[in-house]
Amino acid sequence: MTDKPKIPAIELKQLRFFYQPDSWQLYLPGLRLDAGEHLFVRGASGSGKTTLLNLLSGIARPVSGELYINGQPLHQLSSSKRDTLRAQHIGVVFQQLNLIPYLSVLDNTLLSAHFAGKHQAESRARARELLSRLGLPATLQQSRASALSVGQQQRVAIARALLPKPTLLIADEPTSALDTDNRDAFMRVMLAEADANGCTVIFVSHDQSLLQYFHRQLDMQKLAQGVQPC
């Protein structure tokens, strides 16, 4: 008996994207990542890291080529189907964090579970626990998001992304405002959660010291030449 071939967490083929036809273009010959892998993405400013994350999370749609997430053809899905796939399977931490300023830390965290259709009471207990592990104690969990420092907001954003146990976690410079201790705690919680749930991680950062936490690394300029992560 032969084993069934494993479905990659991410597979892209001859992917092309531009914002306007006559401006900057991204062309990626190919990339394949197995489920549970943790990938560190680096590259010069403007090389297309955020654009790649927007494509992988279905926020942007390729102009041509193929893009599969857990075997689902993202390039063929409508905008609303991509939104559903993202809500149910993909955790995203944007550079801008996108917290709702007038909601509490806890309610901001719970939003992802709400959109993923998860049970609210269980999610609330898990959200409190995740926030505590990230160094945001119970008193702070009731504060409005607008009252937090950027570093505290980054920790809320990762808690929100992890809460529904996504199969893919995508994070764009999520530790840029953290001091060393909080940054290390952030990395430990994020990767322990990812490992516990078999979650694939794509993490963009300019901070080379974080490379030690990842299985593989990827340079955007090299990826555009067809070189695979190492």
Ligand X SMILES: Nc1ncnc2c1ncn2[C@@H]1O[C@H](COP(=O)(O)OP(=O)(O)OP(=O)(O)O)[C@@H](O)[C@H]1O
Q: Are 82 and 58 in contact (CB under 8 A)?
A: yes
**What secondary structure letter does DSSP report for 148?**
S
| 216: β partners | 39
Residues 76-135 interacting with ligand X (rule: CB under 6 A)? none
Q: How far is CA 87 from CA 83, 122, 163, 165, in A?
A: 6, 18, 11, 11
Number of residues that bind ligand X (CB under 6 A): 10
Name which of 49 and 126 has its Cβ closer to ligand X.
49
In sign, the C-alpha dihedral spanning 36, 37, 42, 46 is: negative
Name which of 163 and 220 has its Cβ closer to ligand X.
220
Name which of 50 and 143 has its Cβ closer to ligand X.
50
Residues 16-55 interacting with ligand X (rule: CB under 6 A)? 19, 24, 43, 45-51
**What secondary structure letter does DSSP report for 41?**
E
Q: How far is CA 43 from CA 20, 50, 73, in A?
A: 22, 10, 27
CB of 118 to ligand X, least distance (A): 30
CB of 74 to ligand X, least distance (A): 17
Name which of 23 and 139 has its Cβ closer to ligand X.
23
d(CA 14, CA 226): 10
CB of 51 to ligand X, least distance (A): 3
CB of 167 to ligand X, least distance (A): 23
Residue from 89, 60, 86 nearest 75 by CA: 60
CB of 194 to ligand X, least distance (A): 22
Name which of 76 and 208 has its Cβ closer to ligand X.
208
Tokens of 25: 């273009």
**What secondary structure letter does DSSP report for 61?**
-
Name which of 19 and 102 has its Cβ closer to ligand X.
19
CB of 131 to ligand X, least distance (A): 27
- Does position 175 interact with ligand X (CB under 6 A)? The reply is no
- Binding stretches for ligand X (CB under 6 A): 19, 24, 43, 45-51
